[in-house]
Amino acid sequence: MTKVLIYEDNPQLREGLTMLIDGSEGFSVVAAFKNCNNVQDEVAAFKPDIVLMDIDMPGTNGIEGLKKIREQFADTKVLMLTVFDDNKNVFEAIRSGANGYILKKTPPARLLEYIAEAASGGAPMTASIATQVLKMFSSLHNEKGEDYNLSEREKQVLQFLVNGYSYKMIAAEMFIAIDTVRSHIKKIYEKLHVNSKSEAVAKAFKDKIV
């Protein structure tokens, strides 16, 4: 059972998300709040697998809430759910350690797929967000041209991550087991000194690794 904690200030949307997720097999909404004013205490109390986080909320907003979660809970998955797909919010969310970034207009069935993907270690992004990420980092340059001692196999896996492939898709493309993919990605994270797929993709673009 994937436990979901929701932060959304719009009461109708908060209730709708709760009903959708709680009524779907394999998911349980442990709580839902209108802001992140007490986010650290709430995450500690409810121990969610996924935090579904709005950005634009009164009081402590979603970006600040994300930062507070990361101060104490490095392994808690945080999925940003927002109307914003502009560069500033995307960049801030990724830099602050978001595990994924999806838009509120995402169809319900797809939203559930994104939550499941994030819970299993993926980093879901809607297509328009992925495009923004590409644009954000396309103009950044790295004079050193470091490759962080990645093996050719690890570079190949990283390229698939950049292209938005899931672990399952990477395994199929490379004809290897998903556990082998996870092992490669763990080594990639260690060598790049990052903790999430979004950070790895950002570094790949910034330092032109692939």
Strands (E) in the chain, as ranges, are 2-7, 27-33, 50-53, 77-82, 100-103
pTM (two decimals): 0.64
* pLDDT given for residue 100 in this prediction: 87
Handedness of CA 21, 22, 26, 30 (dihedral sign): positive
Confidence of residue 199 (pLDDT cuts 50, 70, 90): confident
Residue 142 has pLDDT above 50, yes or no: no
Domains of the chain (ranges plus CATH)?
A: 2-135 (3.40.50.2300), 140-206 (1.10.10.10)
Residue in the block written with tokens 């995402």:
106
Confidence of residue 106 (pLDDT cuts 50, 70, 90): confident
Contact criterion met (CB below 8 Å) for 120 and 197: no
Confidence of residue 105 (pLDDT cuts 50, 70, 90): confident
Burial of 181 (0-12, 13-18, 19+ CB in 10 A): buried
